[in-house]
Amino acid sequence: MPVSQNIQNFYRAAADRDFSRDFLFRVTQMQLQGVPALTDDQLVYAKTAALPGRAISNVAVPFMGLNINVPGGATYPGSDGYALTFYLDANSDLRNYFESASRSLFNDTNSTGEYGTPDDDFFIQLAQLDKDLEPIAEYKLIGASLRNIENISYSMAAGTGETVEISVTVAYHYYNKIR
């Protein structure tokens, strides 16, 4: 029996099902520990984000020289360093927002902060979209709190007028697929 995975079948499947595109993804909500939620006017500046992964650990059960592999607990690879990049607005409101979140978690002036375990009130919500920009899947990253604000680079000598971006890293505990 011939293999049915050929160019014509691929073309028919692609024409029927199409492809997900890199721009059909949005950060729809963000409530980080220590600061108010980002507004839609701020979230529209989101430039890059990723759909998170999930892994089931393997538990080897040795028996007579052979390992029987059984599923173990769930882990969330990258949950300790989820990266987001935003266009930086002209007034640096996003930079100020993330700096406030960082200082509320730990203020090195007086060694205080909200460095407890973030609960489900703090989250990032993501949406995969169809071509009409309607959500086809939504994910909620639970227990989100800021970990890092990257340096912002300016190129004064080149003076090209390119937009500047701000990248941050957030940690979360796990995610739920809510749609």
Residue-wise pLDDT for 140-171, tens only, equals 999 999 999 999 999 999 989 999 999 999 99
Residue 153 is assigned to a structural domain of this protein:
yes
Residue 173 has pLDDT above 90, yes or no: yes
* % of the chain with per-residue pLDDT over 90: 88
- pLDDT, tens digit, 9 for 90 and up, residues 74-104: 999 999 999 999 999 999 999 999 999 999 9
Going by C-alpha positions, the residue among 78, 76, 74 that lies closest to residue 56 is: 74
Into how many domains does the chain fold?
1
Which one-letter DSSP state was computed for residue 150? Answer: -
**Sign of torsion over alpha carbons 165, 117, 27, 37:** negative
Residue 5 is assigned to a structural domain of this protein:
no
Residue 133 is assigned to a structural domain of this protein:
yes
- Average pLDDT over the chain reads 94
Give the per-residue pLDDT at 4.
85
- pTM, two decimal places: 0.89
Residue 122 is assigned to a structural domain of this protein:
yes
Residue 7 is assigned to a structural domain of this protein:
no
Rounded distance, CA 37 to CA 124, Å? 10
Residue 4 is assigned to a structural domain of this protein:
no
User: Average pLDDT, stretch 38-47?
Assistant: 92
Give the confidence band of 38 by pLDDT, cuts at 50, 70, 90. very high
Rounded distance, CA 143 to CA 170, Å? 10
Residue 108 is assigned to a structural domain of this protein:
yes
Give the per-residue pLDDT at 136.
96
Residue 2 is assigned to a structural domain of this protein:
no
36 three-class SS: coil
Give the per-residue pLDDT at 132.
95
- The residue range of the domain holding 92 is 19-177
Q: What does DSSP say about strands 165-171 and 82-87: parallel, antiparallel, or unpaired?
A: antiparallel
- pLDDT, tens digit, 9 for 90 and up, residues 110-147: 988 888 899 999 999 999 999 999 999 999 999 999 99
CATH of the domain at 82: 2.30.110
